[in-house]
Structure 1
Amino acid sequence: MKLSWKPYILSLLVILIIFPFVYLVLLSFASDWQFPNLLPSYFGSRNWQMVVGSENGLLGSLTLSIIISLSVATISTLSGFILSRTVSYHSKKHTLTLLTYFPYILAPVVFGACLSYFFLKIGLFGTATGVVLAQFMIAFPYALIFFSSFWGNRTKSFENLVSTLGGSQWQSFSKVLFPMAGGMLLICFFQTFLISWFEYGLTSIIGVGKVQTLTIKVFLFIKESNFFFGALSCCLLIFPPVLLLYINKKYVFNKLI
């Protein structure tokens, strides 16, 4: 009987993929773990209890990150969907589409440094509003590119049908186009949320240390060699995307399939 190594290899791959996340969770419950001790001197919920009402500001950073990411995702998705129609039907569609890739040519830190002068002039440097606007400038082009595949002959036919029946452009969007693009809207919202949620370069430059999102907090704890709070921050950083991924899988991907 021939021995199959496939189940063992798959099991090993699953363990290797899951191990970093499990280790982060375990590390977030530990403290005072020094070499050469094999186990930490304390293992419990003390770190998690300090999230609420603690001077480390993790709860405030979590709330701020959620507000910023939801704002960027909502504005980028809606404006990207509406304006992508104009771009797709424009006579210079290919040129305009090419321009949407411009923010991705530069690294986020370099892009943020280029924008910092203008944000300083308009008084948005070091503010949460400035961070939202800066992140919007990289999330919005993504939404334009994402929705470009939605507009075509089929969509145009539905728009013409609504116009023929006496419907306005608003009715065309609200009654036909938005329901048709429901799945794509949710996927784009999820993607732009992730772009904003994990953004570090632009946030660190435009926020200039005053806007401490959860991503900024992770790097601050790592720089301070506070690995336990760094692991706790990573757990908080991972939870919302996992929740959104679950929602997308349950309510979007299954319906599309």
Structure 2
Amino acid sequence: MSKLKSIALWAYVVAIMFPFFFLLLLSLSSDWRYPALLPEYFGLKNWVQVVGTESGLAYSFFISLVISLSVAVTATLSGFFISRYVSYHKKKGLLTMLTYFPYILAPVVFGACLSYYFLRIGIFGTTAGVIIAQFIIAFPYALIFFSSFWNEKIKNYENLVSTLGGNRWTTFTKVLLPMAKGLMMVCFFQTFLISWFEYGLTSIIGVGKVQTLTIKVFLFIKEANFYYGAMSCCLLIIPPVVLIYINKRFVFNKLI
């Protein structure tokens, strides 16, 4: 029975890791045509050509990081502070229900609705416009995520600090932020991933001018450039893997 479990476990690991291994293999290959079992070339040629070439993968990776970090930081911080007022508001139910509004529509439809207003204010097809559009999606998620943090226990802590002479700034910096540090890290990771893998909204608001890494993946697939597509997928996987490691190493272990 133990041998069977070991075989099943290894089969499970292989099934999970095979797509990532194949993407890496494909990104290092060229001239791989049927019926050849192995590519004619296997090496770093594709990766070397990325730097300074017209493919713009390096730039797409950089601009994706800038957009995702901007969205994650602003959504996490604003979501934490504003969720307090939503949770303690007398119309909490109504306000919470309104936070789900951006998720009612598909991202492409939602982007089409926003495009008119973004065009009028001059941020349509710009990096700033993509950041704001993605923030509109990530911010409600942060509000919903932090809604469980604000409860009677936290309110009692706030009242205690106030009774001892602490002001609002002291309450947030010395009590609330340290208590919510783990949750804020998790929310930052989640909103970063929401922005990192966003395609529909980015393609509409960015209108092809803001080519994030996710946009590049689909462009290469449409062009049947599977080698560059696999390479961009490998780059797309790097930040989530790093975040998973950080989450397990510095957040999850402390929470348990």
What range describes the TM-score normalised by the shorter chain of this pair?
Answer: over 0.9
- 1:53 corresponds to which residue? 52
Q: 1:3 to 1:234 in 2, by over 3 A?
A: closer
5+ unaligned residues in a row in structure 1: which ranges? none
- Aligned pairs (5 A) from 1:128-167: 128-167=127-166
The answer as to 2:254 corresponding to 1:237 is no
- 2:94 corresponds to which residue? 95
CA distance in 2, matches of 1:67, 1:160: 39
- 1:85 corresponds to which residue? 84
Cα shift readout 1:142-190 (whole Å, capped 9, x = no counterpart): 0000000000111101111111122111111111100000000000000
- 2:4 corresponds to which residue? 5
- Aligned pairs (5 A) from 1:105-124: 105-124=104-123
CA distance in 2, matches of 1:202, 1:170: 37
Cα shift readout 1:45-97 (whole Å, capped 9, x = no counterpart): 00111121111101100000000000000000000000000000000111111
Deviation, 1:3, is 7.7
- 2:201 corresponds to which residue? 202
CA distance in 2, matches of 1:4, 1:234: 35
- Deviating more after overlay: 203-212 vs 7-16: 7-16
- What is the SS of the residue equivalent to 1:50? helix
CA distance in 1, matches of 2:244, 2:14: 21
CA distance in 1, matches of 2:7, 2:240: 30
CA distance in 2, matches of 1:54, 1:3: 52
- Deviating more after overlay: 10-19 vs 207-216: 10-19
Cα shift readout 1:92-138 (whole Å, capped 9, x = no counterpart): 11111111111111111111111111111111100000000000001
5+ unaligned residues in a row in structure 2: which ranges? none
- 1:190 corresponds to which residue? 189
Deviation, 1:10, is 2.0
TM-score, normalised to structure 2's length? 0.98
User: Which amino acid letter does the alignment assign opposite residue 15 of structure 1?
Assistant: V
CA distance in 2, matches of 1:37, 1:248: 42
Deviation, 1:141, is 0.3
CA distance in 2, matches of 1:112, 1:69: 17
Q: 1:46 to 1:90 in 2, by over 3 A?
A: same
User: Which amino acid letter does the alignment assign opposite residue 96 of structure 2?
Assistant: T
- What is the SS of the residue equivalent to 2:73? helix
Deviation, 1:7, is 2.0
CA distance in 2, matches of 1:50, 1:186: 36
- What is the SS of the residue equivalent to 2:50? coil
CA distance in 1, matches of 2:76, 2:99: 15
Deviation, 1:194, is 0.1
